[in-house]
Amino acid sequence: MNSITADIDTANDKKVANNILLEKKLPGDLAMWFFILAELSVFAIFFIGFAVAEHLHADMFAQSKAQVHPIAGLINTLALITSSFAVALSLQAMHQNNAKLAVRRIIYALLIACIYLVVKVWEYQTLFNQGFDIETNTFFTLYFLITFFHLMHVLLGMVILIYIAKNAAQGNYEHSDKPSVDALESDNQNTIAGFESGACYWHMVDMLWIVLFPLVYVI
Amino acid sequence: MITVVQQFKAWLLLVILTILSVLLGSFFNLKIANHSLFIILVMAIVVLKGQQIIGVFMELSCAPKKWYMLLLSYIIIVPSVIAFIYIW
């Protein structure tokens, strides 16, 4: 009788464990998502402000946009997309408890992100050499303000990626292959939440550029 | 659970859409395309790209639906407002 009861308990435990594993959960920490939402809101105001300014000064924006380099914008977009892909693959490696591979992929993501930094600095340098700066006109004020603000976010994202790569290399995100039901139900069930938060921040930086790129270089 | 194959497809789609938007910009500069249509197409590309990043890279398609919808609404509403301003 006791053996039958024990079997039922084990079956129930497995069922609960499976349900918990299949349950949809938000990747990363909730606090990071509120931070991401706040960042997105600030950039939304910038984007809409840029569009309104262009609507009001269409000719000046058209002339000024002829001075920026669409190929530089294209290279930067491809760099950020590819870097984001590398971070997504890195998270896949973390899901498989392969921290070594995850760290390697984060390093690839950082190296690709460096392409963005180099191109952006070259772009600023070229514009400065041509005599354009933040005071030239409304377009360049908004251009330098928004792209530099985004650049700061790229740098912060890179610092976060270095931090999570360091933690992963030190084994701080490792978890047991056979989690117990109690462990799964506890608040600390997600041992890679910090890694997921860092990865999602990087994807947010990429997503912001996805909106910014056509505003400045395409339209 | 998002797979590596899904992520690769998303990356490929993002690259193709990025190049497509640059080509659209070139066509528009040659005055071949209608302005309103051009703006709508470019912003539709932004929405598609954002959807890939939110759903596949951020893995929010496997997250609670309200969070997925919240982020998705951002990438739909902001480009729509921008398109409205340019067309208006």
Which amino acid appears at position A26 of this protein?
L
Measure the CA–CA gap between A119 and B40, rounded to whole angstroms.
Answer: 29
Using pLDDT thresholds of 50, 70 and 90, give the confidence band for residue A45: very high
Mean pLDDT in residue range A60-83: 94
What confidence score (pLDDT) does residue A171 get?
A: 86
Task: With a cut of 60, say whether residue A176 has pLDDT above it.
Answer: no
What confidence score (pLDDT) does residue B88 get?
A: 82
Structure-block tokens of residue A57? 């000064």
**CB of B58 less than 8 A from some CB of A:** yes
- Nearest-CA distance from A6 to chain B in Å? 32
What confidence score (pLDDT) does residue A174 get?
A: 72
Burial state string for A149-184 with b = 16 or more CB within 10 A and e = fewer than 16:
ebbebbeebbebbeebbebbeeeebeeeeebebeee
Which residue has 């509403």 as its token pair?
Answer: B77
Measure the CA–CA gap between A9 and A15, rounded to whole angstroms.
Answer: 10
What confidence score (pLDDT) does residue B33 get?
A: 62
Using pLDDT thresholds of 50, 70 and 90, give the confidence band for residue B30: low
Task: With a cut of 50, say whether residue A185 has pLDDT above it.
Answer: no
Record: contact B46-A210, CB cut-off 8 A: yes
- Chain A residues with CB under 8 Å of B56 CB are 88
Q: What percent of chain B has pLDDT over 90?
A: 77
Which residue has 């950039």 as its token pair?
Answer: A43
What are the angstrom distances between the C-alpha of A20 and each of A181, A185, A193, B20, B40?
A: 8, 8, 16, 42, 42
Measure the CA–CA gap between A180 and B58, rounded to whole angstroms.
Answer: 27
**CB of B49 less than 8 A from some CB of A:** yes
**CB of A147 less than 8 A from some CB of B:** no
What confidence score (pLDDT) does residue B40 get?
A: 93
In B, minimum Cα distance to A51 occurs at: B82
DSSP chain A: -HHHHHHHHHHHHHHHHHHHHHS---SS-HHHHHHHHHHHHHHHHHHHHHHHHHHHTHHHHHHHHTTS-HHHHHHHHHHHHHHHHHHHHHHHHHHTT-HHHHHHHHHHHHHHHHHHHHHHHHHHHHHHHTT--TTS-HHHHHHHHHHHHHHHHHHHHHHHHHHHHHHHHTTTT---SS--HHHHHSTT--TTHHHHHHHHHHHHHHHHHHHHHIIIII-
**CB of A159 less than 8 A from some CB of B:** no
The mean predicted confidence, pLDDT, of chain A is 86
Record: contact A74-B42, CB cut-off 8 A: no
Structure-block tokens of residue A146? 């928004």
- Nearest-CA distance from B58 to chain A in Å? 6
Using pLDDT thresholds of 50, 70 and 90, give the confidence band for residue A16: very low
In A, minimum Cα distance to B62 occurs at: A24
Number of Cβ within 10 Å of residue A216's Cβ equals 18
Record: contact A40-B21, CB cut-off 8 A: no
**CB of A75 less than 8 A from some CB of B:** no
Which amino acid appears at position A129 of this protein?
N
**CB of B52 less than 8 A from some CB of A:** no
What confidence score (pLDDT) does residue A219 get?
A: 87
What confidence score (pLDDT) does residue A183 get?
A: 47
Record: contact B78-A74, CB cut-off 8 A: no
What confidence score (pLDDT) does residue B32 get?
A: 61
Mean pLDDT in residue range B30-36: 72
Asked if A202 contacts A83 with a C-beta cutoff of 8 angstroms, the reply is: yes
**CB of B27 less than 8 A from some CB of A:** no
Structure-block tokens of residue B42? 């470019």
Number of Cβ within 10 Å of residue A120's Cβ equals 20
Pairs from A121-128 (Cβ < 8 Å, separation ≥ 24): A122/A72, A123/A68, A123/A69, A123/A72, A126/A69, A127/A67, A127/A68
Q: What value of ipTM does the predicted structure carry?
A: 0.93
Q: What percent of chain A has pLDDT over 90?
A: 73
Task: With a cut of 90, say whether residue B71 has pLDDT above it.
Answer: yes
Number of Cβ within 10 Å of residue A219's Cβ equals 23
Write the residue in B15, B57, B82 that is nearest to A48 by C-beta: B82
Phi, psi of A35 (to 5 degrees): -65, -45
